[in-house]
Structure 1
């Protein structure tokens, strides 16, 4: 427990993720059907980057900073100061990119691309030496290291695209856009989730440990596909098989996850299990949409994956980590020998279930908006409300922890 960072470090990222979720909902409510009509419109690009960098980026970086020292025994360099720089660069870059896409006359996207690239370069420098030097859990560390490399590649490609859009470089935009998205969503987000699932699913969901051989083959196929697509993009051609391959690998990921849940020796119908089950179902639908082919189905896959499935997975973990951070905070402030409240008392299951229910309603309206664009503004409000509920749940941990500490000080 002593190797855990100060709770304020990961907590800052987790709260920012929920705040970005509210902002993404506001963008959708503002732009309506235009934000989900074409993957090339400025409104769509702004919404996509609010979700990928703002929501998923903050949630995953914050979780990683907590997970690495506690669960993997990996030392993260830099301390609180470096984490502040990381948080500032990531969120400033996300804000600049969203503004550049939504209001192109305001500024060029190159500044946001540069800030995001700097953020992931800093994350790489803070984490990779510890991953290399740590002992044990080699397979887990290799999986997380590969995901970090994927994040760095995605950030570099994003910077190249931002420079091209700003008129300062040339690149085959359609081919590189798909590859950039592949390294970011598949290599970084899905790759990291698959790696940490070896610990998260047995620990919190009562499943067996995933097969190392099967998981290793999945990771190898994933990064081989991304490398092949990258080499093709460098030659100025797009690989149609990238989307089909992403669909197959995504479907394999979610089916394996669902099977582990259903075969769990100690099946737990807890909020986290339900968050992940709902997320798996949404990601399975996204994978099927990719396999169906076509631009319309690619757009549907994006809504299912970025607006519903992946946020469900990371939100479920956000709530668990936030409660654990609150418990660590209480333990450090009260000292040893004090009977502490259980982690589940700091964030009760009913609060998590309420957040899950609102995400479920938001998901239904989002999918309806694809068929009836007039519902897009309502879907945006629903998305903002779901993430606002998550943010309120995160803050409630602090209130409950503070009350316990105050009561302890009065008794003392």
Structure 2
């Protein structure tokens, strides 16, 4: 149930949202320094660093900001001093991301150990607190399974650093790597996208509610499937089932949406389709690798497509609805009646989202040919998208502030 009275101070999630495009711009700048061999090797130091800057700095900040806000308004979960604790979490996430990227780029264990400590303490602490708070709230939200996915991602990453530093735990490195990738991409990122979609799609696209059984069990089924894959890579093909169930239902709801011209509708559909496509192709990664001169290109392409064509379109749709809603709700709580801010469309006009959608579609559809024939152009698209997204966020804030004095 939506509980706006428990909404966090808008400055808290916005802090995470606003810094995300900055991280993306940094990734783009660093990517200009990659040579052709770096683009082909997913485990090269520079590619590992850039991957974690993307997943922690860009995607991670957006996901954590959304998680905090959605947990508050759906389950009434918020700290007694949210701005203080939120700022500590924000600082830990940024500093941990910097240390991790430096450690991976230079392959220096001291930086990796510092990053592991900060990220495990901060994100692990967040997971523990959220799970306890959700249990006490008595609200059976699918968010809890995405939170478990985050916790396991952080744990597996910490164990990777421990394995490289001390040789403990006695787990094969490739098995632990597979676990970390599966948990981070499907257990945490896709898990949170699925959980957030249960609220965001019906609410902002004026669509029917998700089927109650799917709402109750799908997130758990997704996490259980990811855990099965962690234990046995031969079960990768099973990942298709929960993602397919989610996507087919998403398509049905989008078809019934009363906001048929809303660009967010197409972004959700396109992003969902590509997440499903990645889930379908992943079990055949060895066969796909045989199609390329350098076999390691296939995992890089699949990971890049996951981000460009799956995650970014959905993130764009989410932010274009969540941010104006938060700003409008904050304004209305302080200005009970009147004022020039009459609806959310004034904060984030549909034409902005349409332009972001065109850019997102262009990036996703051009990723493969650019990667194969003009990899140096990929950072240019990232810079343009980062600047465009940041402009929209900052402009929405300025519109809200201006409304207070009009």
Q: Normalising by the residue count of structure 1, what TM-score does the alignment of the two structures yield?
A: 0.87
1:387 CA drift (Å): 1.9
1:24 to 23, 27, 36: 27
2:281 maps to: 289
Secondary structure at 1:31's aligned position in 2? coil
Q: What runs of 5+ residues in structure 2 fail to find an aligned partner? A: 290-296
2:302 maps to: 301
The equivalences for 1:192-341 within 5 A come to 192-230=192-230, 232=231, 239-262=232-255, 264=256, 266-294=258-286, 295=289, 296-333=297-334, 335-339=335-339, 340-341=341-342
1:256 CA drift (Å): 3.1
In 1, are the aligned partners of 2:6 and 2:77 still within 8 Å (CA)?
no
1:298 CA drift (Å): 3.2
- Provide Cα deviations, 1:205-233, integer angstroms capped at 9, x if missing partner: 23322223245453343233333344x4x
In 1, are the aligned partners of 2:160 and 2:173 still within 8 Å (CA)?
yes
Partner Cα separation in structure 1 for residue 332 and residue 258 of structure 2: 29
1:106 CA drift (Å): 8.9
Partner Cα separation in structure 1 for residue 298 and residue 144 of structure 2: 32
Question: How has the CA–CA distance of structure 1 residues 337 and 209 changed in structure 2, closer, same or farther, with 3 Å as cutoff?
Answer: closer
Question: How has the CA–CA distance of structure 1 residues 315 and 32 changed in structure 2, closer, same or farther, with 3 Å as cutoff?
Answer: farther
2:182 maps to: 182
The equivalences for 1:91-130 within 5 A come to 91-105=94-108, 108-130=111-133
The equivalences for 1:77-96 within 5 A come to 77-96=80-99
Question: How has the CA–CA distance of structure 1 residues 76 and 258 changed in structure 2, closer, same or farther, with 3 Å as cutoff?
Answer: farther
Partner Cα separation in structure 1 for residue 37 and residue 240 of structure 2: 26
What is the number of residues matched between the two proteins? Answer: 392
In 2, are the aligned partners of 1:323 and 1:344 still within 8 Å (CA)?
yes
Partner Cα separation in structure 2 for residue 326 and residue 40 of structure 1: 41
- Provide Cα deviations, 1:96-144, integer angstroms capped at 9, x if missing partner: 11122223259542221222212212212442233122255x2xx2x21
Partner Cα separation in structure 2 for residue 265 and residue 320 of structure 1: 15
Name segments (4+ residues, structure 1) moved above 4 Å. none
Question: How has the CA–CA distance of structure 1 residues 365 and 30 changed in structure 2, closer, same or farther, with 3 Å as cutoff?
Answer: farther
Q: Which moved more, 1:14-23 or 1:98-107?
A: 98-107
Partner Cα separation in structure 2 for residue 189 and residue 351 of structure 1: 25
In 1, are the aligned partners of 2:356 and 2:389 still within 8 Å (CA)?
yes
- Provide Cα deviations, 1:83-108, integer angstroms capped at 9, x if missing partner: 01111111111121112222325954
2:137 maps to: 134
1:80 CA drift (Å): 0.8
Partner Cα separation in structure 2 for residue 94 and residue 41 of structure 1: 18
1:78 CA drift (Å): 4.1
- Provide Cα deviations, 1:212-263, integer angstroms capped at 9, x if missing partner: 3245453343233333344x4xxxxxx332432334443443333223312x
Question: How has the CA–CA distance of structure 1 residues 279 and 265 changed in structure 2, closer, same or farther, with 3 Å as cutoff?
Answer: closer
In 2, are the aligned partners of 1:246 and 1:290 still within 8 Å (CA)?
no
Question: How has the CA–CA distance of structure 1 residues 30 and 152 changed in structure 2, closer, same or farther, with 3 Å as cutoff?
Answer: same
Partner Cα separation in structure 2 for residue 217 and residue 7 of structure 1: 31
In 2, are the aligned partners of 1:69 and 1:76 still within 8 Å (CA)?
no
Q: Which moved more, 1:375-384 or 1:65-74?
A: 65-74
Partner Cα separation in structure 1 for residue 24 and residue 354 of structure 2: 18
Partner Cα separation in structure 2 for residue 63 and residue 46 of structure 1: 24
Q: What runs of 5+ residues in structure 1 fail to find an aligned partner? A: 233-238, 408-412
The RMSD of aligned alpha carbons is 2.3
- Provide Cα deviations, 1:331-387, integer angstroms capped at 9, x if missing partner: 355x32334331110111111111222222222332213322xx1121111012112
Partner Cα separation in structure 2 for residue 106 and residue 365 of structure 1: 37
Q: Which moved more, 1:394-403 or 1:239-248?
A: 239-248
Secondary structure at 2:43's aligned position in 1? coil
In 2, are the aligned partners of 1:51 and 1:307 still within 8 Å (CA)?
no
2:11 maps to: 8
In 2, are the aligned partners of 1:100 and 1:108 still within 8 Å (CA)?
yes
Of the two structures, which has the highest relative contact order with CA contacts closer than 8 Å and spacing of 6 or more?
Answer: 1
Secondary structure at 2:258's aligned position in 1? coil
Partner Cα separation in structure 2 for residue 384 and residue 269 of structure 1: 28
